[in-house]
Structure 1
Amino acid sequence: MKLKSLILGSVAAAGLSTAGFAADLGVLTSLDVCDDLGLSGLTISSDENCLQISGSVAYTFEYGNFNGDGRIVANTLPSAAFGGVNGDGVRRFDTPNGTAAGAADWNSKVETFLKFVGTQASDFGPARVVINLRQRDYLRARDNVTATDGDAHPLRAQDAYVQVGDGTVLSAGKKGSIFNEGDDEPFNFTGLFMSDDADKGVWEGPVRKGGHVIQLESSFGNGVAGGIALEALDRTDNQAGSLIGVLNYAGDSVTAHISGSLGGILDGVQTTGDTYAIHAGVTGTFDAFKLRAAGSYSGGYAVGGNWSYWNGLASAEGNFDMFKVALSGEVGGGTLAGGGDAGTDFGIGASVGATVTEGVSINLGGRYFNDGTAGVGDGYQVAAQLVAAVTETLKITGEVGVYGHGEDTVAFNRNTGAALNAATSDFYGSAELAWAPGGGFTSSLGAKVQQNGAYKVTFKAAKAFK
């Protein structure tokens, strides 16, 4: 319900029908400016401006014995090779940090968002000011020793920018990037190892983006849109300033994009902060089939020889009555700083899903990763998943599986400097009960246990309004 309706209804219910009050009601018609601007939701308005308010709170609590990290897939590349970001298919899993009293670990996190968008008509289209406030309280305990995590943030403006335009939009201030890195997630339910390490997709390189920005975006019609921007203008190191461009397409059955970035342009000299990156992806939906392909290429300046990295991914999904089949593959490689060959890594993944009855489905799948260095063991995961809608508001998800890697016959750099030698595996089981009673409220309770003794219980609750 809009605030306008609430106010008018309250006035009518109070029986304020005298001539004097009727005249006062005329002031409330200024709230129609939100309708004139085509804006809805929770709004407050003056004669010319419409203020939209939205927000959310999300809480997460985790308890168990999960402090340690294990490696399923080997990492033969030093992280510094790719601008401080590791793009070589590392997969971590939890390991227990002891069984003595005091080995308990827990996390407690509250994330709060509050967004205000003030809009007014102008000769160039809607003129907006956007303020997105964010706060993150994050307390973690390791072996019963508590500490405020470095990921905690006091209340701050995550976004604070001005914007004007409709078909063509100019934005300036503190804002997220226009760099598009979508259309690149694999369809199989276990995903892929390198893709997970790249935050689901292909790694676009160390793109310095967002922050203080000046952006110009335009729609060209027929589903084509593009933009150009100066971003990361607030960085204080030799990576300050990125020139970013993007071209997007959204049709009835195809979405696609290509994004590019040149980083470290503000200092005007050649330094290790000078980088470049290209990210492209396309998804096609044709009746019962989905096809996706994505690729990236990035690099940067390094004394003694520039580094580069490339990453590609392809995925397909088919729906056949009660069955869904997905197959995905990925490949990556590059040149280390100084000119050394980084090798070529690849991975594959596949899954089969079936709708058993209404509201009940199963997924079977796995993934495999081959490091490009001879003698380094391959990594794998095999999993089976059951999803059951108990009621319209309750859903249960259960999963069992195993992670593993083969024997390592050579030593390699995996950040810690140690080598994994004998082949190993770790079986796990997990279950989650998700509750969505409506009203934008969601909650879940889940648990995971592993063969190596690690375990974790997780509770989540969230609510958003707009």
Structure 2
Amino acid sequence: MKLKSLLLGSAAVLALSTGAQAADPIASFVSLGVCDAYGITGLTIESDDTCLKISGNVSYEYRITHWDGLGTFYDNGAGVEWQLLFEATTQTDAGAAKAVLRLNDVPGTHGGDVRIERAFVSFGDTTVITAGRIGSLFDTVILTSIYGSRHEDFIDFWNFDNSEPDKSWLVNEVATGGTGIQVESLIADGFSVLVALEDLEDDGTAGLAIAYDANGIEAEAGILVGDIYNNLVADPVNFYLRASADFDNFTVRGGFVADDTGYWLATIGADATFDMFSLKVDALFDEDGDWGIFGEGSFAATDTIDVFVGAAYNDWVGGASDFTVYGGAEFDVTETISARAQIGYIEFNPGGANFVYGELGAVYAPGGGFEAGLDLTATTDGDYQLTFTTSKKF
């Protein structure tokens, strides 16, 4: 009887102890592990209260380029690019304390030299303060869609520009990023205030913006004031606004950037996505009178083949213009191999180089963050570019 009572008593104590541990958030926290409790996944190392996440990528490209239409010469090259990112997070009652360090290769050194691209600390929850070597808090890109050739570095040899319009297109651009101090505060449902001092290692920039992201609407508007140290003759000022709204199958978007000289650049566009096909169109115009309009449509020919056609036209003050029309297909060869084929025509007026180009490419992606690709682009001028790429993310 005494033994039975002892066993029952021990079981009761064990049950109470187990129940107390299950109800104890600290005990649950320890049993989960710090990184699991923070919701951080990937390659991680943890201590009692800090989770260190390590990620990055390595890529290699070998390129053979032959120019014939502008005089026969070769431009061959190979390069390695890599990035290594360390993110240390410690949760406190007042919010998350983070330290971030990102190392990159120096362009042109084939991966041999190292630069510190990002090195900053941040703290907070609904209000986050960040300081150090950082990217810009302000997103001034007003058009992200790409039309025409996907091989911009090759086709752009003829100045057919697919780069993203932002404040860098302005006459009097304000410098951002670099080293600085940033504050982002969620002030109401969906509304945030962005305040920052950036580019503090050079002329210095002060910025203020309001952002909204809720109910299918995403928008940001701000002002950037450069040269807060008064190093320049004239202090540049930039303004920007970008917004997009989702309505079931449709998305509409627009953007605007301007500077204190009176120069401005604006975009407007829309997407429509349905079960079998999708459409997108964008227009861009500026204060000088330059403008462009671009469109692309695609549809699912089969479960594994998507067909697309598109066109783009730019009209420049002074009578110059460029035009492209193109079409192609993307298809899954196997579960791990995809392919792409495209043909297009580009015309430059007046008296520019007009040519037809073709592109063929294949990508092997077996998983694990690894990809390898082979692409060939050629024109009727006798120019061609063969590119081999391989990369691994972790």
Name the TM tier (shorter chain). Answer: 0.7 to 0.9
Distance 1:326 1:172 in 2: 39
Alpha carbons 2:307, 2:330 under 8 Å: kept? yes
Which residue number in structure 2 is paired with residue 78 of structure 1? Answer: none
Distance 2:197 2:214 in 1: 28
Q: Deviations over 1:250-300 (max 9, x none)?
A: 123221111321111113x6514x21112211112212212111111113x
Which residue number in structure 1 is paired with residue 121 of structure 2? Answer: 162
Instruction: Say whether residues 1:278 and 2:207 are aligned partners.
Output: no
> RMSD of the TM alignment (CA)?
2.8
Question: TM-score, structure 2 length as denominator?
Answer: 0.83
Which residue number in structure 2 is paired with residue 178 of structure 1? Answer: 137
Shift of 1:384: 0.9
Please point out which of 294, 305, 326 is paired with 1:349: 294
Between the two structures, name the one with larger relative contact order (CA 8 Å, sep ≥ 6). Answer: 1
Alpha carbons 2:311, 2:326 under 8 Å: kept? yes
- Counterpart residue type for residue 288 of structure 1: N
Distance 2:108 2:146 in 1: 32
Q: Structure 2 unaligned runs (5+)?
A: 1-26, 151-155
Alpha carbons 1:188, 1:328 under 8 Å: kept? no
Which residue number in structure 2 is paired with residue 293 of structure 1? Answer: 254
Q: Structure 1 unaligned runs (5+)?
A: 1-25, 67-94, 140-147, 300-306, 334-342, 408-421
Shift of 1:385: 1.6
Q: Deviations over 1:304-336 (max 9, x none)?
A: xxx332111111222344232322211112xxx
Alpha carbons 2:138, 2:209 under 8 Å: kept? yes
Which residue number in structure 1 is paired with residue 196 of structure 2? Answer: 229
Shift of 1:41: 2.2
Q: Deviations over 1:413-434 (max 9, x none)?
A: xxxxxxxxx2541111111101
Alpha carbons 1:30, 1:45 under 8 Å: kept? no
Q: What SS does the corresponding residue of 1:271 show, helix, strand or coil?
A: coil
Shift of 1:247: 1.9
Which residue number in structure 1 is paired with residue 282 of structure 2? Answer: 328
Which residue number in structure 1 is paired with residue 15 of structure 2? Answer: none
The 3 A distance-change label for structure 1 pair 203 and 384 is farther
Distance 1:246 1:379 in 2: 36
Alpha carbons 2:106, 2:115 under 8 Å: kept? no
Instruction: Say whether residues 1:458 and 2:391 are aligned partners.
Output: no
Q: Deviations over 1:406-456 (max 9, x none)?
A: 22xxxxxxxxxxxxxx25411111111012111111221101001222110
Please point out which of 95, 106, 109 is paired with 2:79: 109
Please point out which of 202, 206, 231 is paired with 1:243: 206
Alpha carbons 1:256, 1:283 under 8 Å: kept? yes
Question: TM-score, structure 1 length as denominator?
Answer: 0.71
Alpha carbons 2:314, 2:321 under 8 Å: kept? yes
Which residue number in structure 2 is paired with residue 199 of structure 1? Answer: 163
Please point out which of 370, 382, 386 is paired with 2:329: 386
Seq. identity, %: 28
Distance 1:153 1:244 in 2: 36
Which residue number in structure 2 is paired with residue 61 of structure 1? Answer: 62
Q: What SS does the corresponding residue of 2:128 show, helix, strand or coil?
A: strand
Which residue number in structure 2 is paired with residue 217 of structure 1? Answer: 184
Aligned residues: 358
Q: Deviations over 1:121-164 (max 9, x none)?
A: 3343111111111114636xxxxxxxx8xxx7721211111111
Instruction: Say whether residues 1:132 and 2:102 are aligned partners.
Output: yes
Alpha carbons 2:204, 2:229 under 8 Å: kept? yes
Alpha carbons 1:33, 1:49 under 8 Å: kept? yes
Shift of 1:119: 2.0
Which residue number in structure 1 is paired with residue 23 of structure 2? Answer: none
- Counterpart residue type for residue 454 of structure 1: D
Please point out which of 388, 402, 405 is paired with 2:345: 402
